[in-house]
Each structure stands twice: as structure tokens, then as C-alpha cells.
Amino acid sequence: MTKLFDKTWTRRGIAAYSGQFSQFAGVELLTLGDGVERGVRCLEFRTGTGLRFRVMVDRALDIGMCEYKAAPIGWHSPTGFRHPGLHESTDEDGLGWLRSFSGLHVTCGLDHILGAEEEAAEHYQYRLRKRVFSPLHGRIAHTPGRLIGYGESWEGDECTLWAEGLVKQAAVFGENLSLRRRIEARVGSNQVRIRDRVTNEGFSKTPHMMMYHINIGHPVLSEGSRFLAPVRHTRWASHADNLQWQAVGSVTQGAPQDCFEEQVYEHAMQPDPEGVVRMALVNDRFDAGRGLGLGIQVDANQFPHHLQWQNYRSGMYVMGIEPSTHHVLGKKFASDRGELIWLSAGAERAYGVTYDILDGAAEIARYERLIAKAGAPAQEEFPVPTGDWEH
């Protein structure tokens, strides 16, 4: 059965009230038509509950705009959802990525994440390719996808909205990686599921790194919003020499500041008994105390490392939650420690994330209880980094 408008429906029952189901929910293919976004294809999902989001087909099938009952969930940066044809990965010593960075869900990878780095390229066995330069967070986020399909899938009286696509990152005498992505949202629900499969389509072993850059904006992020997570300890902080200098802690979020300098933590999370790590950002004060939040679920085996990014500079106000395959210090650090993932020819790895819109105090409290199942200690506002990369 499908629940819409405070009523439970059969498929035939709701069909009697309209000529097309798209009156209530659906997936629609759109092409943006102006400015730097001109020509970008996207799929707009509507679940019928007030949840609406866009899958940016031409930006690695990432999620750009996301809102719930007209309240924004995802972050919109000053860059807009720029057409990938305007993007130059190696601009500005690898920081050109920041000229196209926007949206709720941004994929980082597939062979590199975190800061720009250069590495040896012997594994590609091409005499003219001595080194590989990788820009900030890699190349995949600004690569157009091939749309495999999208639509509505009915099983009995339940309808799931879905889209699937393939994104390729490849070079002659270089990597040949693919990302196959499927996104699903059940009609009548406030949940979005992303399931990914990364494959080495080539015949040379290839380094592999993956991270989801999940960017939450106002009003979920606001002064006093709470970051809920099963933190065992905090491994690293970008501002470890003076944790309180900007008066913004890890748990309780601050207001925009004109000259705020970004803060980054790496937290070691405690998964629940099923191996799931749940995190959330919640605004208990939203709508006169009704409350609004975003819950995030990932598999601890797929993403063993977790970053928290606070960019509270005025005009860029955002908090990022970043499940990652590797530590915050990047590829060389991983390689030196023997932790860099190498995909052999034909090998693949699976990833995924589930998003839950938390509508109201009861939903927030329910999610807090789920997070508490992990049995982690109470979060610290200004956690002193342990420097422990092993546990």
C-alpha cells in the first residue's frame, strides 16, 4: 500500500483520482536552460510527501537541489550547478574543483580524493606518463553520465521512483574506471537510497578512493543545530592547535561569520550491531520548535572513515558530512601506510548511502535512539584529537 495525503491507497484506488500518476509523484527529465547551468540534464524526483530533489545526470548523477515542504535540505554554493563542459580539473593547482562545487551529494573519486597530489604512474606502463596529477577530490563529480533508465516501478500497491546511470573516468594509457549508480525513493516516503558500483574496466591495476561529500545548508544548518554521531574518538582536526578560537564546536553549530576559516575533523565512528553508521544534522528550533533534520546511513565496511567539514563563512554557509574510504591526510599518507586501495583488472567495489528526512521532534528523537544503539560515548563539543589512526 502507498500512503499519500494522510491516506493509504491501492494502485487502482489512487488511479481513479487522476489521469496520470505524475499529478501526485514521479520522476521527470529536465534540461536546465540558462547561465552556467545551461544544457545540464537532471531528473526531478517528487515522492508526494513534499520531498523533491534533482539528480544531476550530467554531474555524475549526484544530487543537487533537495528540499522538503519548500525547506531547503541541500546546499547551493555561489558557483551554481555548473555545466561540466566549463570545468577544468587542473585549474588553479587543482583547486578548480571549487568553481563547480555545489549540491547535497557530491561524489569524490574515483582514483583520488582530498587535496591535490601528484604520484608516480608506473602501474600504467606507458613511458611518457611518468606522473599523474590528481586535483582536489578527483575528477568524477564533473563528468556527465550516460542515463540507463528512470521511471516508476510498481510492486503490488507500492511504487518506487528510480534512476540508473553510468559514469566513466578513463584515459588512454591511464585509468579506466566506471561508476554505475542507482537512486531510489519510495512514493509516500521521506527516504532516498543511493547504491553505487565502481569497476576497474581496464587491464592495469588502478588506485581507488571514494568519498561522499554530503553538504547540508540552512535551515537544517543554523545556529544551535546539532551534529549527532556515534563518535568513539576524534583522530584529527585542522584547528587542533586552538580548538575554541572561532567558538564553534563539533556538536553545536554556529551562525555565519564573515571571516570564518573552515574547520575539518576526522572522527572514528562506532557502528551499530548491524555494522551501520548513522549520523544526522538536526535543527530542533525549526518552525517554532517542530524540528527538521537529515539522517544519513552508511555501511561501516564500505566507509570506515568519517570527516566533518564546517564552512561557516558568510555567503557559503554549509556543514559537510563525509564518509570516506581513506583518512583525511590523503593518498600519499594512505600509500605510505599500505592502506591505498588498488583495484585489479575487472575488480569492483560497492558503496551506498541512505538519506532520511527527519520531520519533527518525534522523528528526530527516533533517529537519536537509533544512533545511540551503537553504544558510543557522549560526543564532546571540542574534542582533543587523539592522533590514533589505528582504532
- For the stretch 227-268, pLDDT in tens is 999 999 999 999 999 999 999 999 999 999 999 999 999 999
Residue in 114, 109, 88, 85 with CA at minimum distance from that of residue 99? 88
Where are the domains positioned within the chain? Answer: 2-372
Tell me which of 147 and 132 has the higher pLDDT: 147
pLDDT value of residue 155: 96
Residue 125 scores a pLDDT above 90:
no
Average pLDDT over every residue of 328-335: 97
pLDDT value of residue 90: 82
Q: What is the pTM of this model?
A: 0.97
pLDDT value of residue 331: 96
pLDDT value of residue 255: 98
Type of residue found at 160:
T
pLDDT tier at 45 (50, 70, 90 boundaries)?
A: very high
10 vs 6: CA distance, rounded Å = 14
Residue 36 scores a pLDDT above 90:
yes
Chain mean pLDDT for the chain:
97
pLDDT value of residue 135: 94
pLDDT value of residue 200: 98
- For the stretch 64-110, pLDDT in tens is 999 999 999 999 999 999 999 998 888 899 999 999 999 999 999 99
Query: The domain 2-372 is classified under which CATH number: 3.30.365.10, 1.10.540.10, 2.70.98.10, 3.30.750.24?
Result: 2.70.98.10
State the SS3 of the chain. Answer: CEEECCEEECHHHHHCCCCCHHHCCEEEEEECCCHHHCCCEEEEEECCCCEEEEEECCCCCEEEEEEECCEECECCCCCCCCCHHHCCCCHHHHHHHHHCCCCCEEEEEECCCCCCEEEECHHHCCCCCCEEEECCCECHHHCCCEEEEEEEEEECCEEEEEEEEEEEEECCCCCEEEEEEEEEEECCCCEEEEEEEEEECCCCCEEEEEEEEEEECCCCCCCCCEEECCEEEEEEECCCCCCCCCCCCCCECCCCECCCCCEEEEEEECCCCCCEEEEEEEECCHHHHCCEEEEEEEECCCCCEEEEEEECECCCCEEEEEEECCCCCHHHHHHHCCCCEEECCCCEEEEEEEEEEEECHHHHHHHHHHHHCCCCCCCCCCCCCCCCCCC
pLDDT value of residue 89: 81
pLDDT value of residue 129: 87
pLDDT tier at 121 (50, 70, 90 boundaries)?
A: confident
